[in-house]
Amino acid sequence: MHQRADFTSELPLIDHHCHGVVTRELERDSLEGLMSESYRPPPAGTSHFQKPLGLAIRRHCAPILGLEPLAPTEAYVERRRQLGTAEVNRRLLAATSVDLHLLDTGHRSAEITGVGEFAGISTHRVREVVRIEAVAEEVAASGVEASQFATRFAEALQRRGETAVGFKSIVAYRTTFRIEQSAPSAAEVVSAAGRWLGAIGSARPRIDCPVLIRHGLWTAAQICRERRLPIQLHVGFGDPDVYMHACDPTHFTDFVRAMESWEVPITLLHNYPFIREAAWMAEVFQNVYYDVGVIVNFTGPSGERMVREALEVGPFTKQVYSSDAFGLAELHYLGALLFRRHLCAVLDGWIRAGDCTARDAETIFSGIARDNALRIYPLG
Ligand SMILES: [Zn+2]
């Protein structure tokens, strides 16, 4: 009889990609809105609780709020309202077995907690990851001339990067991965900036020009090369801005290969449904890392299959943990709980089948849980 190995103990995870939580009180509609990547509510008469994530919230989060597991949706929503958002956030984040969160602060940042506030609520350590495109949009909003854009952007990125532990790009969202991937020339950047800045008017700047996005990536890459920071790339699963078929990360091989020669780590985020492609890239490119963040929450009872697939071919030294939680403390709690549970279940099966020792399993677990992230991010 094989014993369940020690890796099931509470070794805290490092969540290498997540976002803050909302602190405002949530009516049912806004609660459900944060349970979906869609821009629209579910069809009339249906609910976002009627999917795998809904089951996972009712099963695992209800007890933290003092309800029975799988309490009805109405009871869950009502209990959440009674306790209030501050108490719900406090309880769920305190129960989240993570001791360090790397927060992407560049998405809907006015609606959610920043680094300091999130650290206060969770009582965990928190470091910032800076979203490249958000910095470009801030520079554009500050009213810069096209000829000055590249300089001002580089300065802003350098400044924001001083306390950050990495950069993040949403190139897949804004242009897909099927774009030219070399660094644009200075003249190309000036003329693209002129077209973009001229078209903004009074609207909030939104960068979607491939030349400027490429320029952002290469400017950040230069900082990463000097300071040995990773670049996170959004891959696959996300909101309706994504043209999923063109977000397969293997389309971005030229940039990834260039970063390999610069020794800049690339962490591929989420990856669903391209988990195998991401794991293969981690196998062949020295600088590529990957996670199955977000999809473990969204697949609920089927999540173990995602974790199993991520372990098929990728080196154990190249996978990292993330929740990609945004807005709801439930997503932080569930991300850690489900990932830990699924990874333990898979490794336990390997031990029982005689495919690895308990010691091997512990090393694999602690690598993915935290050691791999400690190797690529400056977290000391
Ligand atoms: Zn994210």
Could you read off the pLDDT of 22-43 as tens digits, one per residue?
999 999 999 999 999 898 999 9
142 and 76 within one domain: no
What pLDDT score was predicted for residue 2?
46
> What is the 179 CA–ligand 1 centroid distance (Å)?
22
296 and 228 within one domain: yes
What pLDDT score was predicted for residue 356?
97
What pLDDT score was predicted for residue 241?
84
CB burial of 7-33 (b: ≥16 within 10 Å; e: otherwise) equals bbeebbbbbbbbbbbbeeebebeebbb
> What is the 46 CA–ligand 1 centroid distance (Å)?
26
> What is the 326 CA–ligand 1 centroid distance (Å)?
7
> What is the 37 CA–ligand 1 centroid distance (Å)?
11
Give yes or no for a contact between 285 and 257, defined as CB atoms under 8 angstroms apart.
yes
**338's tokens:** 């489900």
> What is the 225 CA–ligand 1 centroid distance (Å)?
23
Q: What number is the average pLDDT over the span 182-208? A: 92
280 and 321 within one domain: yes
> What is the 275 CA–ligand 1 centroid distance (Å)?
16
What pLDDT score was predicted for residue 138?
95
> What is the 207 CA–ligand 1 centroid distance (Å)?
18
109 and 173 within one domain: yes
pLDDT digits (tens, 9 = 90+) for 91-144: 999 999 999 999 999 888 889 999 999 999 999 999 999 999 999 999 999 989
**Does 40 map to a domain?**
yes
> What is the 293 CA–ligand 1 centroid distance (Å)?
9
Residue 251 has pLDDT above 70, yes or no: yes
Residue 352 has pLDDT above 70, yes or no: yes
183 and 56 within one domain: no
Give yes or no for a contact between 93 and 121, defined as CB atoms under 8 angstroms apart.
yes
Residue among 98, 35, 92, 106 at smallest CA distance from 294:
35
Residue 1 has pLDDT above 60, yes or no: no
**Does 319 map to a domain?**
yes
Residue among 101, 125, 132, 115 at smallest CA distance from 321:
101
**Does 88 map to a domain?**
no
16 and 31 within one domain: no
What pLDDT score was predicted for residue 25?
97
> What is the 368 CA–ligand 1 centroid distance (Å)?
18
**Does 238 map to a domain?**
yes
List the CATH number of the domain containing 333: 3.20.20.140
> What is the 20 CA–ligand 1 centroid distance (Å)?
10
> What is the 210 CA–ligand 1 centroid distance (Å)?
21
Q: What number is the average pLDDT over the span 64-92? A: 98
> What is the 18 CA–ligand 1 centroid distance (Å)?
5
> What is the 191 CA–ligand 1 centroid distance (Å)?
31
Among residues 62, 83, 104, the one where a domain terminates is 83
42 and 171 within one domain: no
**Does 225 map to a domain?**
yes
Query: What's the total number of domains in the chain?
Result: 2
118 and 48 within one domain: no
CB burial of 338-374 (b: ≥16 within 10 Å; e: otherwise) equals bbbbbbbebbbebbeeeebebebbbbbbebbbbbbbe
Residue 202 has pLDDT above 80, yes or no: no
**Does 183 map to a domain?**
yes
**Does 139 map to a domain?**
yes
What pLDDT score was predicted for residue 182?
97
Residue span of the structural domain in which 182 resides: 6-24+96-376
Query: Dihedral sign, CA of 176, 22, 368, 339?
Result: negative
> What is the 68 CA–ligand 1 centroid distance (Å)?
30
288 and 209 within one domain: yes
Read off the pLDDT band of 242 (50, 70, 90): confident
Among residues 49, 83, 117, the one where a domain terminates is 83
> What is the 277 CA–ligand 1 centroid distance (Å)?
19
> What is the 23 CA–ligand 1 centroid distance (Å)?
18
> What is the 269 CA–ligand 1 centroid distance (Å)?
8
Q: Which residue has the higher pLDDT, 247 or 109?
A: 247
> What is the 149 CA–ligand 1 centroid distance (Å)?
27
- Whole-number average pLDDT of the chain: 95
Query: Residue 377 and residue 369: Cα distance in Å, rounded?
Result: 14
112 and 77 within one domain: no
285 and 207 within one domain: yes
Residue 5 has pLDDT above 60, yes or no: no
pLDDT digits (tens, 9 = 90+) for 291-332: 998 999 999 999 999 999 999 999 999 999 999 999 999 999
Q: What number is the average pLDDT over the span 57-72? A: 98
Residue 8 has pLDDT above 80, yes or no: no
Residue 10 has pLDDT above 80, yes or no: no
> What is the 188 CA–ligand 1 centroid distance (Å)?
30
> What is the 107 CA–ligand 1 centroid distance (Å)?
8
> What is the 359 CA–ligand 1 centroid distance (Å)?
33
123 and 166 within one domain: yes
